[in-house]
Amino acid sequence: MVENDEFGGRLKVLGWLSVLVIAVLIGRAGYLQIYEGDYYARLAEGNRIRIIPTMAPRGTFFDRNGELLVQNRPGFAVSLMPVMTKIDPVVITRLSELLKVPVEEIDKKIEAHTGFDPIRIKADVTPDIVTIIEEQKNNYPGVIIEVQPIRDYMNKEEAAHTYGYVSEINDMELEKKKDEGYKSGDIIGKFGLEKIYDKELRGENGGQQVEVDVTGKPVQIIGNKPPTPGDDLYLTIDKNLQTAAEKAVDEQLKQINANAAAVVAMNPQTGEILAMVSRPAFDPNLFAHGISSKDWNKLNNNPYHPMDNKAITGEYPPGSTFKIITGTAALTEGVVSPSELIMDSGHHWIIPKGNAEGEALGLINFQQAMAHSDNVYFYEMGNRLGIDRLEKYARMFGLGKITGIDLPYESDGLVANRRYKEKNFEDGDWYLSETFDAAIGQGFNLVTPLQAAMVMGEIAADGKRYKPHLVNRIVAPDGSTVKEFKPELLGTLDVRPEVISLVQAGLHDVTKYGTAAGIFRGFPIEIAGKTGTAENPHGRDHGWFVAYGPFANPDIVVAVIVEQGGFGSQSAVPIGRKVLEAWFGLNKPEPAAEAKKQ
Amino acid sequence: MTKSILRRTDITLLAATAGILVMSIIIIGSATHINTPGEERYWFVARQGLFAAVNIAMAAFLMNFDYKMLQGYGNKLYIFNLIMLIAVMLVGQSALGAQRWISIGPISIQPSEFSKIIMIVSLATMLEERVGKLNNIHDLLPVAAYVGVPFLLVLKQPDLGTSLVFMAIFFGMVFICGINLRLLGGIFATGIAMMPLLWHFLKDYQKMRIMVFMDPNVDPLGSGYHIIQSKIAIGSGMLFGKGLFEGTQSQLDFLPENHTDFIFAVVGEELGFIGVVVLLLLYLVVLWRGVQIAQDASDMFGRLLAVGITSMLAFHVLVNVGMTLGIMPVTGIPLPLMSYGVSSLTTNITAIAILLNIQLRKKKLEF
């Protein structure tokens, strides 16, 4: 033992100090592990578990005969896993070079990102980029490939305005739709059917629960919830008719050197839209993975507004197609009898307004006036009816309000009336000349091509007005029908059946000896039609044509407008004829004729 | 080594040390992914195991020599220590902002680790003649200067952790040497009063470490990251731990330095509170035996050696484990006998060997 052990007692202090140190450490460990253990366990889970959403394939579109119109193709997106530490700048630089996305842009995306979802860096990359990232995993820690269905509009511009397009949800939409389960980065329908039926089409995203290491590199998959695909839409559109209508419009625009047009084809007995065309158009595929600013500017700077669906948004003076309404009103109100002859001397006797070309048809009755679209006759009808009765009948036909078709941004048009004049003009008085204008569809009246088709359709369907619609059935991924759209009767014209018959007869004569007779000569199916020319203060007149057939039992009504196409009979009628040909199967050489040739 | 030596050796200390070493090898294995295929997966475990074996063999051989021989080398070792520390400053390699390493062939050594044990031997040699003679500042000044020179050299590297270990050794030994308690109290009081002044001498990263210690969330992705992830690792281990190789914090590399300075967090995460208690109790046995050996030492030199070693080990355990638990600032102090590192392992096995040697040659009880 140590001699002279004066300070040996101090060793006890050292001993107990050691005990104290160990006790404090055990106490602290116990506090963290037992008392706060659950809290730290959650933090540890948060460190290592990430959810990679699996995007649900969007529902596809089929035409009325089951032909595929819009589908999805597999796409690959490159994303970064959010990690606890800073992402290695070397990885970001490497990724920037591979994807040709500037480093600053990647940094910005990382900066703006919150939560634990992957940070999307570039959508829809080419397969070779996918291969490089998969093969050089260690060079790209935390970089993952997300399989992402990309919307594929197989027919490009065809029916683009009807189908619409999809794009990433923006902040405003997100704010509005947060409660409906929309999340940042979601793809959402922005236009057309894609917008209206987005809720049905989008399906439900699934997700993979993935364990990642500190660099965000996935180590193993812990859980997987497969996505539920969206519901499919079976449209009322007839693909063949649509293609034919598009082709007819393009050919005609090229031939007469015009730029904009719209066509609506509908079954008047059900309201099913069979085809819908708007020109100029756009390619919705451009939007599927973010449109380039070059493409966007090109669309935006086009003076003919390719992004508008002119079939439902374009408002034009109805021109002579309005004479259907004026005529129905005059006969119903009894201001004229079908046989009464009215003198057309080239211009009306109260106000010297006349026919477009100044021609005089002499003494004519109702049916002749309709067939030749005689202005003087219908001025007189306007004169006898007065503006208020004209307004009443226009509204009875459904003008001045939206039809309620399942497409966004529909315009309501305008019915000429006294209140409108009072409200919008300094000189609020109504003049007879304005009644004259209204009676032949000029002046204040405005209709959309769809409304024009609706008016013609009501005559075709003996006064019945069905709600126009584009979808027949919504079908779930398992094949069961979620919803079926039956014809919905919106209203019936409060006129006597013989009035409708008289109007029908007049319209029938249009293609027999009237304004459309030249182009419909030899057409094997009986067609009723009406041409129109809408005065356009900004340029050449717009050409109109509405028609239905077969005359006895119509299953199609067509409305055509060619912006700045001049006379309807020359610009719109040829398109209408081609559409009807396609519908009745006359555009293909008949098998018999084919056989004869051989 | 004769049978009689083995019979008379402190089996308790030997067993506790062996227990810690076994845990060390297992946990290093887990932290370095020994269970996942890879070319060099055994590298760390093999190296640590090999050096442990070499060190134990050398220690066993040295048991044949009396520790008292060291007394004759006290001053020579002191000079060697200074040369070594100056060499680090001149040819040392830096790691993490500090010059700490010298490469000798395939081995990188950390002289500041060895300098701890050399410091203990030199200081014991010096203090042996001064027992009970440390009554005022004049008595203490030569001792303080003696420790101060290597202390400043280490601080200059900069290696704040090791220099603090020097202070722990210094105070432990002068306390047992019988320093006047009022003098000791005065020194502590002055030290605390001078803290704000000391702040100015700290490097920026050291200041940050202190600030982060107060609140790790000051810099959660930078300096605070280690502490946050270490606390998550330990806390999430809960009572029974996640199991060996199953600690997500460690296995997925969220926990940095998991085989060196933060190895204790792996114990906490994978073996849980139970593993933590077992390991800390093993350390307590080592420390308690250290004090006991000091008590039983046959001379004052042996006692001072034992006290220096015990102080060193206790301080290491407190600062390292305290750091992983978030109650001590981050300093680069390894956990004795647990952390991966050849220099640290050699120093600590040597320290334990010296304790065993002192115990072996304690004054025999007469029957």
Q: Give the number of other CB atoms < 10 A from CB of residue B56.
A: 16
Q: Give yes or no for A43 touching B (CB within 8 A).
A: yes
pLDDT at A30: 96
Share of chain A above pLDDT 70, in %: 97
DSSP symbols for A185-217:
T-EEEEEHHHHHTHHHHS-B-EEEEEEE-TT--
pLDDT confidence tier of residue B321, bands split at 50, 70 and 90: very high
B231 contacts A48? CB cut-off 8 A: no
The minimal CB distance from B252 to the residues A11, A14, A214 is found for A214
B238 touching A (Cβ < 8 Å): yes
Question: d(Cα A367, Cα A339) in Å, to the nearest integer?
Answer: 8
Minimum-distance CB partner of B325 among A22, A29, A45: A29
Asked if the Cβ–Cβ distance from B248 to A48 is below 8 Å, we say yes
pLDDT at B366: 45
Say whether A48 and B300 touch across the interface (CB within 8 A).
Answer: no
Q: Which residues of A touch B294 (CB under 8 A)?
A: 11, 14
Chain B residues within 8 A of A39 when measuring between CB atoms: 235
Distant-in-sequence, close-in-space partners of B260: CB < 8 Å, separation ≥ 6: B334, B339, B340, B341
* Token output for A113: 């990102």
Q: Does A10 sit within 8 Å of B175, measured CB to CB? A: yes
H helices of chain B, where?
A: 3-8, 11-31, 43-62, 74-91, 111-127, 137-156, 160-176, 181-199, 204-214, 223-237, 248-251, 263-296, 300-324, 342-360
Tokens of A176: 């509005």
Tokens (6 digits) for B176? 């047992």
Question: Comparing B292 with A52, which gets the higher pLDDT?
Answer: B292
The CA distance from A223 to the nearest CA of chain B, in Å, is 17
Q: Which residues of chain A have pLDDT under 50?
A: 593-598
Residues B276, A33: C-beta atoms closer than 8 Å:
yes
Query: Which residues on B lie below 8 Å from A20 (Cβ)?
Result: none
- Residue whose pair of structure tokens reads 């490159």 in the numeric block: A78
Rounded distance, CA A33 to CA B58, Å?
Answer: 39
Residue A192 tokens, joined: 């057309």
What is the per-residue pLDDT across A464-519, written as a single tens digit (0 to 9) for each? 999 999 999 999 999 999 999 999 999 999 999 999 999 999 999 999 999 999 99
- Which among A2, A13, A34 has the least Cβ separation from residue B239? A34
- Decide if A18 and B310 are in contact by the 8 Å CB cutoff: yes
The string of pLDDT tens digits covering residues B15-55 is 999 999 999 999 999 999 998 888 888 999 999 999 999 99
| Cβ–Cβ contact A33 with B under 8 A | yes
Chain A residue numbers touching B311 (CB-CB < 8 A): 14
CB contacts of B178 in chain A (<8 Å) are 6-7, 10
The overall average pLDDT reported for chain B is 89
Q: Does B300 touch chain A (CB under 8 A)?
A: yes
Q: Encoding tokens for residue A449?
A: 């091509």
pTM of the entire predicted model: 0.73
Residues of chain A in contact with residue B221, where contact means CB-CB under 8 angstroms, are 84-86
Q: Does the structure show a pLDDT above 70 at B1?
A: no
Distance in Å, alpha carbon of B105 to nearest chain A alpha carbon: 32
Q: Do A26 and B277 touch (CB under 8 A)?
A: yes
Confidence of residue B82 (pLDDT cuts 50, 70, 90): very high
SS (H, E, C) A111-132: HHCCCCCCEEEEEEECHHHHHH
Is the CB of B325 less than 8 angstroms away from the CB of A40?
Answer: no
Calpha distance A538→B73 (Å, rounded): 110
- Give B 121-150 residues with CB within 8 A of chain A: 131-132
Query: Which of A 194-233 lie inside 8 A of B, CB atoms?
Result: 211-215, 219
pLDDT of residue A589: 61
In degrees, rounded to 5, the angle at the alpha carbon of residue A304 between the alpha carbons of residues A302 and A306 is 75
The pLDDT assigned to B89 comes to 82
Give me the residues of B, 338-367, that contact A with CB < 8 A.
362-363
**pLDDT tens across A98-153, in order?**
998 899 988 888 887 777 778 888 888 888 999 999 888 888 888 988 888 899 99
Give the containing element (helix H, strand E) for A235: strand A232-235
Nearest-CB residue to A26 (from B280, B287, B288):
B280
Whether residues B235 and A41 touch (CB distance < 8 A) is answered with yes
Give the chain A residue nearest B241 (alpha carbons). Answer: A33
Instruction: Tell me the nearest-neighbour CA distance from A140 into chain B, angstroms.
Output: 16
